[in-house]
Structure formats: structure tokens, C-alpha cells
Copies of this chain bind each other. A is one copy, B any other.
Amino acid sequence: MNLNFIIHNNDPSSKGRVGQFTTAHGVIETPAFMPVGTQATVKAMDPQEVGDMGYRLILANTYHLFLRPGHETIKRLGGLHKFMAWPGAILTDSGGFQVFSLKGLCQVSDEGVRFASHLDGARSMITPELCVRIQEDMGVDIIMALDQMAFPDDGPEKVAKALERTTHWAERCLSARTREDSAMFGIVQGGFDPHLRRESAHKLVALGFDGYAIGGLSVGESKQTMRAMIEATAPALPESKPRYLMGVGTPDDLVVAASMGVDMFDCVMPTRNARNGSLFTSGGKVNIRNASHAEDEGPLDPECHCPTCQRFSRAYLRHIFMAGEILAMRLLTMHNLAFYAKRMEMIKDAIRNNSLGAWALELSNEMDNAVVDETPFRNI
């Protein structure tokens, strides 16, 4: 399915663009952040709440749903949207990243990936063809082609081999398609080598996808390396297709990557950090565990309009967090996702106002001067 990607605004101060694309489950404004719903639920959230925050596209996980409850079950139950009561669009990660994260538990060959389930050790094999079938059975809007990522410590030969395999698998994924109502994205690999990144992009573009992802990042590399890889890859991808930076990132990463022409993001950071008590606010990061909040009757973020900040004090949030209450996970996740939604609105406004370049430059400089690198590690 052609996503009919339309660019509404280009920011002359950067490579950022505001646009939209159309899926079988609605129009998605870009740049877009996708909340992560690994197991067919954005952790701690009701799908209604995710929609109320303005999200129209979420990510789910092929590997996890293949293992449990199984794509055939989801198909019999009417597809993933109906199963999880999410009326918006769904993109599914191909499962390649998750499988490779298992390392010792998986063996890769040209045929596909053989692995042992992290749940019960049951052995399975995911081929490019099965990968597409799983995603088609679930009826998702955007299918990710199966890819092989290089590990940060892989030598040049291994990185090149993974790239080559990713290209072949991408071709097989395209051939395996049977549905007209889903789009398919290829995933650029090439480790931390700008030449290989460009090569991977050119090969995938020659195959012709509905969009392109930059994979294999957010695995512990520095901010500079991440930027260099986006810089090498994004210009090699067509202007006319959405670009998706997988597993990224911090709120500031979103600004910087959007300024380099990235249109889509996903990251567990807002949801996972919330469950660990770490919140994003207009005044900086807040750890709700901190004793300084114990008697603080102010909201988490006075500039935030989310249902959490409108009703609850820091003191209450700290109390229920320390008491291990489920409501804490809910309210804090809600806030972080609202913060990310607002951040995306600010990015779009900055592109429309031709000011994203200056904002991104400032943040890049801050990142370069930061002592602690906070690149998010991706979830299996």
C-alpha cells in the first residue's frame, strides 16, 4: 500500500519536514513518535488514553506476539487492531532486533534466524517469508522487513555480511507480500560505517519500499556516532518516502534527528522510565523517588496539561510510587507519553517556523558537552 506521503513544510534552517502519510487506519502526521506496545499493549495504558494523547500510530512487536499469543490466534480473532482495541495504525518491528538481542540463543543463516524462545526455550525459525506472514496475519499497517543488525563490536567483515544478508532478506520480504492494505519498510544497516550505511540505503532504495528505517542504532553508541550515521543515511533515502529512526530516543534526540530529516521514531524510554520513576518535565528530569517531593503539593510539571499533572501532586505521585501502587505506573506513564506528544508538536511547530535548525544545533552542542551519555538502549 502506497502511504501517499505528503510533505507540507520544509524547514530551510535544517532538513526537517512536516508531512503526513495515510494508512488503512488513519492519517499520520509526521514527524511522529510511536509509543511502544511490545505485547499488544502500551505498558500501563488503556488504548483509549493513548489515542486521547493524540497518538495515531503505535509500534508492536512481531517476535513477542509470534511467541505469545501467536499470529494465527490474532488472525482468527480478527487481527491485531481488534484484538487490542486500538483503532489507530500499527507498525510492527520485524523481530530481527529482538532475536539478535538473544545472542547466544540464536543462529543466523541465509535461510533465516533460528532461536530459542525467551519464554520457554521452544525452538523456532523466522525466515523473511514467515516474518511477512506473521505481520500480514496480524493485519498491521506497516510491516518491517526482516533485517540482520551488526553488533557494536563486530569487525568490518561481519558488518558487511549482515548488510548483504539484510538486502537479500529485504528482497525476499517484498516478494512474500500478499496483502494490499499494508505498507512495507526496509531497514538500513551497515554498523557505524558511513560508507556501508550509504551502500545499504542505495540497495534498499533500488528494491523500492514504502518507507525506510535506520536500524542498528541506539545500542549504546555515542550521540556523535548516532548523528554521523543518520547524516550518512538520511540523504541517501528518497525525499518522497518516510524515514524511520528505530529505537530512538530521548526528547532531545527527537529534535536533532528530526532536523536531519527523520520522520518517525519509537522508543521505550517514556514508558520504561516512567515505571522506574524517572519523568521528563519542562524543568528537566525528575526522579519521583526523591525525598524532596514528599511534601510537594505542586504538579510534576506546571506547564503540562496531562490528566496526571492536572489532578495530582508530586507528593501523591511519590507516595503511590514508593508504595508500589499500579496507579503510579499509570499516572507517570501518562505524563511521559504526554511530554513526548507535546515534544513532537513543538518539533512540528519549529519546522513550520523555520527554527528547528537553531534548536537542534543548541541541543547537539549540549549533548557534545555532556559528561554522561544518555543514549537509550533498546528493549528486547
Residues of A within 8 A of B (CB): 39-41, 43-46, 68-69, 73, 76-78, 83-85, 294-295, 297, 311-313, 315-316, 318-320, 322-323, 325-327, 329-331
Please, which residues of chain B bring their CB within 8 A of the CB of A43?
A: 325-327
Contact yes or no, A320 B78, CB < 8 A: no
Are B329 and A83 in contact, with the CB atoms below 8 A? no
- Once the chains bind, are B77 and A313 in contact (CB under 8 Å)? yes
Contact status B329-A326, CB under 8 Å: yes
A interface: dominant SS: loop
CB nearest neighbor in B for A78: B297
With the chains together, A371 CA to B350 CA distance in Å?
69
Residues of chain B within 8 A (CB-CB) of A68 are 319, 322-323
Q: Is the pair A326, B323 in contact by a Cβ cutoff of 8 Å?
A: no
Closest chain-B Cβ to A229's Cβ sits at a distance in Å of 33
Are A312 and B85 in contact, CB atoms less than 8 angstroms apart?
A: yes
Residues of B within 8 A of A318 (CB): 69
* A313, B327: Cα distance in complex, Å: 23
Which B residue sits closest to A327, measured CB to CB?
B41
Query: Could you list 30 A-B pairs, sorted by A, with CB under 8 Å?
Result: A39-B319, A39-B320, A39-B325, A40-B320, A41-B325, A43-B325, A43-B326, A43-B327, A44-B326, A44-B327, A45-B327, A68-B322, A69-B294, A69-B315, A69-B318, A69-B319, A73-B294, A73-B295, A73-B315, A77-B295, A77-B297, A77-B315, A77-B316, A83-B313, A83-B315, A83-B319, A84-B316, A85-B311, A326-B326, A326-B329
- Taking the closest CB of chain B, its distance from the CB of A166, in whole angstroms, is 29
Chain B residues near A329 (CB, 8 Å)? Answer: 326
Additional pairs, 10, CB under 8 Å, beyond known A40-B316, A77-B313: A41-B327, A46-B330, A69-B294, A69-B318, A69-B319, A73-B294, A77-B316, A78-B297, A83-B315, A84-B316
- Chain B residue with the shortest CB-CB distance to A334: B46
Contact across chains for A39 and B323 when beta carbons are under 8 A apart: yes
Q: Please give the distance in Å from A315's CB to the nearest CB on chain B.
A: 5
Min distance, Cβ A25 to any Cβ of chain B, angstroms: 16
Contact between A320 and B76, CB atoms less than 8 A apart: no
Cβ contacts under 8 Å, A327 to chain B: 41, 43-46
Q: How far is the CA of A41 from the CA of B318 in the complex (A)?
A: 13
Chain B residue at smallest Cβ distance from A68: B323
A76 / chain B contacts, CB cutoff of 8 Å? 295
- Residues of B with C-beta under 8 A to A46: 327, 330-331
Q: Is B83 in contact with A320, judged by CB distance below 8 angstroms?
A: no
